[in-house]
Structure 1
């Protein structure tokens, strides 16, 4: 079975057991390691493998062909994207300004636009899509007015002389009480979705029961990441929602995509398609 997921520690930790033949009865995996922006595109074009990880923000474009699986993905708390500016400013100051984002089909982008709809009178100006690593230097150098950043930028932005305009994770959790939907696992609707979900759940449970077993595999794909950082990454993103989305997980997804559809940020879609 062909599958695509990222080389990030949370994905390699989750799928280690299945990828190494440690899940009884599961078919052998042919793994493609790819950034989520690549898998988003593959799924949207119908060119993806049978199973793949995409951003929850990309789901509305692919639900006719792919089903959301109730396990294996990433939802989290305390891990939201940040909006940064060169100088301390009020959110209203972004009205009509240029803001750089790493993708327009990401949860980070949807959160930013939903936050801006509430907090930036008249809305922001131009949205500029640029590679993630170029955003903070561009804000520092005055090429853009603000930037939307994710992941390790939470810890490094002060070194660029930037200030925090808002933490979108804190805003979302305060506004909804729900976790942030990040990465979804999807599979082609023509497959045995219950069986695939079961194999993924077994892989997750094996990873938790044997945390040392996946260490070599995780670090081989972690792009020179410090082992303690990789461990912290796993602990943050592999949680109760990875084993089972549950009602809170589905509520978070429905809240994010329902609000985004209402704002015209994603296509309108049948919300019932989110559940098997």
Structure 2
């Protein structure tokens, strides 16, 4: 395995994300103001959905372009911050921050502006969609459902299994292996390999990674070496976008039973 691959696996096993070992700073210094990055910076109180993790005064940045993301990573490298992306914070595990981590070393990235959607392929039996990491799940589902292609009687596309909440970011769902409650049944003709988490549908991801001398963007395909590391990375990666395999849209039947004892 190449040195790059060994570094990538070591990086992904580090649960603290991109950690930089230069001298840490507790506030935004003049060095960032001179960096040329246009992303707005602010301080937030990080509070997860379960409200069991609350950390105040954490430095955050709203990244608006690929160039800004690279500038932010470069600045963090030079100034001793680790960076992690945060989405809807609909989680209860300390994947982004914990109460015990030194908040003056954290730089949280708001990636919500990366919410683009593009249908790359539309066929009668499947489709391929490219989606930004910050797109909300409900917007992704609606975009797919409103596509004109698919089955003649039920236009559009969908996933086989999805989480129920609509206010989850795509990157967040991929990070934790977001899934629904669908199960296979007798004589089912569905592809069981897609009947798991959203990550089962990933064909490729574009992520911010270390290339040996700097942080840069790189696209990983599912079938290449290290591609599987981005499918459920537990908050240890910065994903920009993903291409996903989708199924023709379908109707669901809701049946209630009132005689269960």
**Length-normalised TM-score, structure 1:** 0.23
**Length-normalised TM-score, structure 2:** 0.24
Higher strand proportion (structure 1 or 2): 2
- RCO comparison, higher one (Cα < 8 Å, 6+): 1
